[in-house]
Amino acid sequence: MDFFAGKVLYFNKPLGWTSFDLVNRFRYKLSRKLNVKKIKVGHAGTLDPLATGVMILCTGKATKRIGEFQYQTKEYIATIKLGETTPSFDLETEVDQTFPTEHITYETVQEVLKSFTGTIQQIPPAFSACKVDGKRAYKMARKGREVELKPKTLVIDEIELTACNLPVIKIRVVCSKGTYIRALARDIGAALQSGGHLAGLERTRVGEVTLDNCMNPEQIDDFLNEIEIEIKDN
């Protein structure tokens, strides 16, 4: 297996890890195995630290394929807590406002979810990697600065209500590149005349790659020991 010529690998990113934590862990172990100081490793699609699931890593010349994977359809399972909002739209920050939920029913949730299917406009979270005047939005937001982001056009192919234990709901979302599920949680809460934030997120598919195809970080050593690696002289 030639990692310099390029390989595409599938991982299940653990809770609490950044996307770069996973990239750095694999690159470190791969470099040691190859006995080299440097090898290209990149990922195709960021996952927040509080999210888990499918992440595609590319090595060597395969990093040129990152854009190809980023544009593939993604599927998520999202847990949304209604009646509360947070500045980051997830559990990274504390609840800042509470709202009534007594008027929300299974039927109203189903009806509201239908309105998010298809081509929609979405304002990204302030706590995101989007750039404003050349600066990352999340860096400004964490300093308490106002961040104004423009709406983006994206496509939601499917939304399915998989569990409804109000005020908590669970949904399956199939969507295009650039969709912020945290922002979707915010918008669903607002559409229900309440609030909402993301309480859990798992990416279950990227293109045709599912969790069944993925390895966990603790399996990296065994993986590198079991395969036949082509060693490059450096």
Active site residues: 48
- Look at the block and give the residue holding tokens 């937001």: 141
Write the CA distances from 27 to 15, 32, 94, integer angstroms: 19, 9, 34
**Rounded Cα–Cα distance for residues 234 and 231 (Å):** 9
**Rounded Cα–Cα distance for residues 65 and 76 (Å):** 22
Q: How many residues does the chain have?
A: 234
DSSP code, position 74: E
What does the DSSP assignment read for 166-204? TTEEEEEEEE-TT--HHHHHHHHHHHTTS-EEEEEEEEE
